[in-house]
Amino acid sequence: MTVRFRVGDTVKVSDLGKAGHVRTPFYVRGKVGEIIQFCGCFLNPENLAVGNAAGPVIPLYRVSFRQKDLWPHYEGPPDDKVLIEIYDHWLTAAPAITSEQV
Amino acid sequence: MSHADVHHHDRAHTHHADEALVTEDEAGNLEAQIIINALQNLLVAKNLLAPEEVTQEIERLEAPGAHLGAHIVARAWSDPAYKARLLENGKSAAAELGIKVGEAQLIVVENSAAVHNLVCCTLCSCYPRSILGQPPSWYISKAYRARAVREPRAVLAEFGLLLPDEVELRVHDSTADMRYLVLPERPTGSESMDMSQLAELVTRDCMIGVAKVVPVAAPRN
């Protein structure tokens, strides 16, 4: 499967509305972050959870979010971040974050 | 730990049913334990499982502990070239010391005067078990899992760690296949220590990121 994103790319986490074992927490859905690492390709947990370990493997990335983009009332300094792993199919390309959104 | 955990944790993508572990009946029996005991008795009776196999598996799971992570940290403090390899690839650097990381990859995140790292798993209880052993109960509590990403500075303060605003806080949520180890700052006063002395300074909590390694007091003359 194609590795669609590179380090530094801005991405948005989709809200695929899937139930079950998806491993994409609700608190990052719809949020915009930055790719900081490509982790390799791994089996999709949505398949593994129902006993399908046959594949295919899919790209996994580490994505960095500014706390203030996740929690509007975050009280810490603006540089604080959450870094989290997201599987490829939950991500779409997004315009770079502008200073107005900070 | 209960036998229920044995099978849960071997499957990296199975959610940890931690709620079940605290469901006790009026006699104080744990529901999950009763089910597991019944299953084990049945498997033993049918010669599908030997009791020694269960014991061996528990021993295998409980053998790793924070001493392994501390050994890795002490080596990184003592050897800059090793530290560079560790930050590049935690799994292969651990293997250099004879420490087998069972997880897909170990990502080592370094604390400094400017950056502090904290590890959690909001979804369940993902934790670098092969180098830190089993996670503490607070790590798998719903309170820690929810608050570590939302108000991490308040959580750290409750652990006694007051992080200045100038320090960037990075919270790593272990949601998938990677596992994380915090490389703490080497404390002042430890300059003349050898690796085994250094390793004794490194606690589990420092490697999760809820504490810092305490400075070493100067010896009194």
B86: alpha, beta or left? (left if phi > 0; alpha if psi -120 to 50): alpha
pLDDT at B15 over 50: no
Chain A residues with CB inside 8 Å of B91's CB? none
Active-site amino acid positions of B? 121, 124-126
Give the pLDDT confidence score for residue B221 in this predicted structure.
60
Taking only the tens place, the pLDDT of each residue in A43-76 is 999 999 888 988 899 999 999 999 999 999 999 9
The DSSP secondary-structure symbol of B216 reads: P
Sorting pLDDT into bands at 50, 70 and 90, what band is B12?
very low
Task: Say which CATH topology domain B66-208 has.
Answer: Nitrile Hydratase; Chain A (3.90.330)
Size of interface A-B (CB pairs under 8 A): 81
Residue A77, min C-alpha distance to chain B (Å): 6
Residue B19 has pLDDT above 50, yes or no: no
Nearest-by-CA chain A residue for B170: A81
Contacts of A85 in chain B (CB under 8 A): 173-178
Query: What are the boundaries of each domain within chain B?
Result: 3-62, 66-208
List CB contacts of A82: < 8 A, sequence separation 6 or more. Answer: A28, A64, A65, A67, A70, B149, B170, B171, B172, B173
| pLDDT range class, residue B29, cuts 50, 70, 90 | confident
- Is there a contact between B150 and A27 if contact means CB atoms under 8 Å apart? yes
Res A79 pLDDT > 80: yes
Model pLDDT for residues B44-100, shown as the tens digit of each residue: 999 999 989 988 988 888 888 999 999 999 999 999 999 999 999 999 999 999 999
Tell me, what DSSP letter sits at residue A54?
S
CB B118 within 8 A of CB B150: no
Question: How close B218 gets to chain A, by Cα (Å)?
Answer: 34
Which contiguous run of DSSP H or E holds residue A12? Answer: strand A10-13
DSSP letter string, B68-134: HHHHHHHHHHH-HHHHHHHHH-HHHHHHHTT----SSEEEEEE--SSEEEEEE-SSS----HHHH-S
For the stretch B94-141, pLDDT in tens is: 999 999 999 999 999 999 999 999 999 999 899 999 999 999 999 999
The conformation of residue B38, written as its DSSP 8-state character, comes to H
Q: Which residue of A has its CA nearest to B116?
A: A80
Contact B27, B43 (CB under 8 A): no
Pick the range with the lowest mean pLDDT from A20-24, A32-36, B1-5, B40-44: B1-5
- Chain B neighbors of A39, CB-CB under 8 A: 105, 176-178
Contacts of A84 in chain B (CB under 8 A): 172-173, 175
- Determine phi and psi for A52, rounding to 5 degrees: -95, 100
Residue A19 pLDDT: 80
**A27 interaction partners in chain B (CB closer than 8 Å):** 122, 149-150
Report the pLDDT value the prediction gives residue B31, as an integer from 0 to 100: 81
Encode pLDDT of A1-18 as tens digits: 789 999 999 999 999 988
pLDDT recorded at residue B108: 98
Segment B173-213, tens digit of pLDDT: 999 999 999 999 999 999 999 999 999 999 999 999 999 99
B142 touches A at CB < 8 Å: no
Cβ of B152 within 8 Å of Cβ of A27? The answer is no
Where b means 16+ CB within 10 Å and e means fewer, B151-166 reads bbbebbeeeebebeee
Q: Distance from B155 to chain A by nearest Cα, in Å?
A: 12
How confident is the model at residue B23, as a pLDDT?
A: 56
Domains of chain A: 10-101 (2.30.30.50)
Asked if residue B132 lies in contact with residue B204, where contact means CB atoms within 8 angstroms, the answer is yes
pLDDT(A102) > 90: no
B115 touches chain A (CB under 8 A): no
B9 pLDDT more than 90: no
Q: Is residue B112 less than 8 Å (CB to CB) from chain A?
A: no
CB B211 within 8 A of CB B205: yes
Residue B16 at interface with chain A, using a CB cutoff of 8 Å: no
Residue B32 — pLDDT band, cuts 50, 70, 90? confident
Most B CBs within 10 Å: which of A80, A81, A86, A87, as the mutation test of the B interface?
Answer: A80
Q: Per-residue confidence at B217, pLDDT binned at 50, 70, 90?
A: confident
Closest CA–CA distance from residue A69 to any residue of chain B (Å): 11
